[in-house]
Amino acid sequence: MVSGVSSPKKIDCEQDAAIVVEGLERIYPGGLRAVDGVDLAVASGEIYGFLGPNGAGKSTTVRILTTLLRPTGGRASVAGYDVVEQASQVRRSIGVALQEAALDPLMTGRELLQLQGALHGLRRAESKLRAEELLVRVDLVPASDRLLNTYSGGMRRRLDLAMALVHRPSVLFLDEPTTGLDPVSRTSLWTELRSLNDEGTTIFLTTQYLEEAEQLADRVGIIDHGKIVAEGTPQELGRLVGEPGLYVKLIDQTQSDRARELLTVHGAVSDRAAGGLTIRTGLGARAIAPIVRTLDEAQIEVDAVEVEEPTLDDVFLAVTGHRAEEAAEDDPA
Ligand SMILES: Nc1ncnc2c1ncn2[C@@H]1O[C@H](COP(=O)(O)OP(=O)(O)O)[C@@H](O)[C@H]1O
Ligand SMILES: [Mg+2]
């Protein structure tokens, strides 16, 4: 744990905790500690964002919490039920949309939803009604009679969500619900998740995007190599990075060497792979005016100066001392 990060929210009343995880561990055959002593608590009605790079242990945790995989150590309860001892009660209380959901491409959205209702024990009429409600809810009515293999990525994710909601679960688990989606589909899914949460559904969602966690989550846990390395509200995590840097884009890229030289008086300057410069002054947006003035005096024309919001990578670097992309290659032992 890094100092300055809030400790897990204390849940005074056990009934208020939708998810309680203590010392959770999953060692895969061969010895890999995919989940390595995770403690967390999610209050009823919260949106908890589980943020981490590929291979961090997010899906393994979700699989344990949704009773699909047994932990090799520790314990967890969801909706008040133990995930090992009371797996069927847990299953009745939760909705799950997994990363690798395999849907039958030769069924229509409506058929699949009705089937899901039947699997949850709804009678035929009930199941039809529920399917219609959910199609409206996730905005799939026009596509409801089309085969799944004609659905876009965003439509599939919305159908995944609808399927997870058939039995009105109190706790919803979503494993990287928007990975690979275009920005519009992502935003519309966020809106849907917010409204579900407003109606009282507790949401546990994994993501690789800090922005997603920032937009949606009340609290965020950052996981790396199976361990929670930081936890807090999005604002608290953002602060770990310090003042944001500024991105400076020049009209004439050939002036970039000269600009870099001149800007070092304001702070640390680095090149951006995509072109342009990043400058860290410790002043955030307040440094924009002096930077533009310096460049202006040297007759270097500025195309844009933007505040760079901290990315997952920046937060990651701040809490772990290494970059997120390198995480998967590090030796966990
Ligand atoms: N069935 C498995 N057997 C062995 N190792 C696994 C298995 N599933 C996942 N892993 C490994 O466990 C680690 C965590 O994986 P995972 O939980 O899928 O991470 P994430 O969802 O954060 O990408 C990774 O190193 C992954 O390769
Ligand atoms: Mg995963």
pLDDT tens digit sequence for 146-161? 999 999 989 999 999 9
Q: How far is the CA of 175 from the centre of ligand 2 (A)?
A: 7
Q: How far is the CA of 283 from the centre of ligand 2 (A)?
A: 37
CATH number of 245-309: 3.30.70
Q: Tell me the average pLDDT of the chain.
A: 89
Cα distance between residue 264 and residue 161, in whole Å: 49
3-state secondary structure (DSSP) of residue 174: strand
Is the CB–ligand 1 distance for residue 28 below 6 Å? Answer: yes
Q: What is the pLDDT of residue 11?
A: 39
pLDDT tens for 36-77 read: 999 999 999 999 999 998 999 999 999 999 999 999 999 999
Nearest CA to ligand 1 atom 2: 28
The residue among 231, 241, 198, 194 whose CA lies nearest residue 215 is 194
Q: What is the pLDDT of residue 5?
A: 43
Determine the average pLDDT of the residues in 270-297. 88
Is the CB–ligand 1 distance for residue 34 below 6 Å? Answer: yes
pTM recorded for the entire structure: 0.80
Start-to-end CA distance of the chain, whole Å, equals: 18
Residue 15: pLDDT band with limits 50, 70, 90: low
Q: pLDDT over 70 for what percent of the chain?
A: 92
Q: What number of other Cβ atoms are within 10 A of residue 129's Cβ?
A: 14
Is the CB–ligand 1 distance for residue 57 below 6 Å? Answer: yes
CATH homologous superfamily of domain 14-105+168-239?
Answer: P-loop containing nucleotide triphosphate hydrolases (3.40.50.300)
Q: Where in the chain is the domain with CATH 3.40.50.300?
A: 14-105+168-239
DSSP assignment letter at 8: P
Is the CB–ligand 1 distance for residue 54 below 6 Å? Answer: yes
Amino acid at 240: L
Q: What is the pLDDT of residue 102?
A: 73
Cα distance between residue 287 and residue 253, in whole Å: 21
Nearest CA to ligand 1 atom 1: 28
Query: Could you tell me if 302 and 296 are in contact, meaning their C-beta atoms sit under 8 angstroms apart?
Result: yes
Q: Where in the chain is the domain with CATH 3.30.70?
A: 245-309
Is the CB–ligand 1 distance for residue 19 below 6 Å? Answer: no
Determine the average pLDDT of the residues in 218-236. 93
Range 290-296, long-range pairs (CB < 8 A, 24+ positions): 290/266, 291/246, 291/248, 291/263, 291/266, 294/262, 294/263, 294/265, 294/266, 295/248, 295/250, 295/259, 295/262, 295/263
